[in-house]
Structures are given as structure tokens and as C-alpha cells.
Amino acid sequence: AALTLSLTTVALLALATVHLFADPFGLHRFWSEVRAQKLPYQDPVYLQERAQFYYSNGDRALAHDISQRILMITPNNKEAYKLLAAIYLKDKNYRKAEEAARAATRIDPTDGYAQLAVGESLQGQGLEDAAIQAYRAVIASKTTDARQREIAVEKLDRIKPSLSRTTEFQRLEKPHP
């Protein structure tokens, strides 16, 4: 049985293939909905999930636009600010990363990941002493978890390895009860 395809069938298959590879996840449709502000949901939680999805899949521009949209709906959304800080850090835009991370820490001063982002943005700007202070704040905080303190310790050690051998640092490194 020979497989014979008409020219029309081949053209339709080619068109479907091009469409599938050009927009496999419906990103362009979603992008246009964001631009037109015709999203099916105005729920910030839904939008945050979408922004995180696009960020995780490498579409920082779309994640950025959705995060900005979230902030139009709920101006005090620390998760949107933290995602913006992460996007700016990836893009090496350290000044904007610092602004976004500081906005998140103003909303929730106990958020260890926002504090870490402040430190990373300061470090990226070459402000090592300020970055050290930010990382020390994460380590000293009673509200940060062990993983956040561990990350701060690693970042401090990269800035100044001799700091990790000091008595003060060893005192800070111990987890709080």
C-alpha cells in the first residue's frame, strides 16, 4: 500500500507543523492577551503562576510584563517584586534588581529571599560592603530558614573567604532555635 498524499494535504501538514513550532505553548496568544489586557482572569495568584511558568521556561520578557500587570492590580505584591528582581538579576540590571528587591523587603522585611536578592544586586553593583551587610542580615534573622542562611553563607564566602573563619561569622552561621 503506497502512501500518496495530495498537494493540498502536504500543504496543510506543513502549515500545521509551522504553526506548532512557531507557537507550541500558545505564548503569542497569551502575550497578545496580556498586551490587550483581556486576560481570562484578573486574579493575581493566577497571573503570578503564569509569570513564574514563563520565567521558568526562559521567557523573561513575558514574565516581566505579567509581573508589571500584577503590580497594577495589587501594588503590594511582594512575589511580583521578587520575580522582577530575579529577572533583573538574570539580565544583569542590578540597579533595577535592587529597587525591586527593596520593594519586596518593604512589604515583608522578614522575607529571606528578597533580602538575598538585595545582597546579590548590591554585589553586582560592586558594593561589596553593603552586600556583606545584607547577607549578614539574612544569617542573623530569626525568620529566615536554614536554606536561606546557607545561601547567604555561600555568597559571603565568595565575596570574602576569610570572613567565614571569624568568630563573629561562626556565631551568626549557627541556626536559631
Give residues with Cβ within 8 angstroms of 63, minimum separation 6: 51, 52, 54, 55, 83, 87
pLDDT value of residue 177: 47
110-127 tens-digit pLDDT: 888 999 999 999 999 989
45-57 tens-digit pLDDT: 888 888 888 898 8
- Could you tell me the CA-to-CA distances from 93 to 97, 122, 130, 155 in Å, in that order? 6, 11, 17, 19
6-31 tens-digit pLDDT: 666 555 555 555 555 555 555 555 55
**Cα 9 from Cα 4, distance rounded (Å):** 10
**Cα 135 from Cα 119, distance rounded (Å):** 6
Would the pTM count as exceeding 0.75? no
**Cα 92 from Cα 80, distance rounded (Å):** 18
**Cα 117 from Cα 49, distance rounded (Å):** 20
Can you list the pairs that 58-64 forms with residues at least 24 positions away whose Cβ atoms lie under 8 Å? 59/27, 60/87, 60/90, 60/91, 62/27, 62/30, 62/31, 62/34, 63/87
76-105 tens-digit pLDDT: 999 999 999 999 999 999 999 999 999 999
Q: Is the pLDDT of residue 168 over 50?
A: no
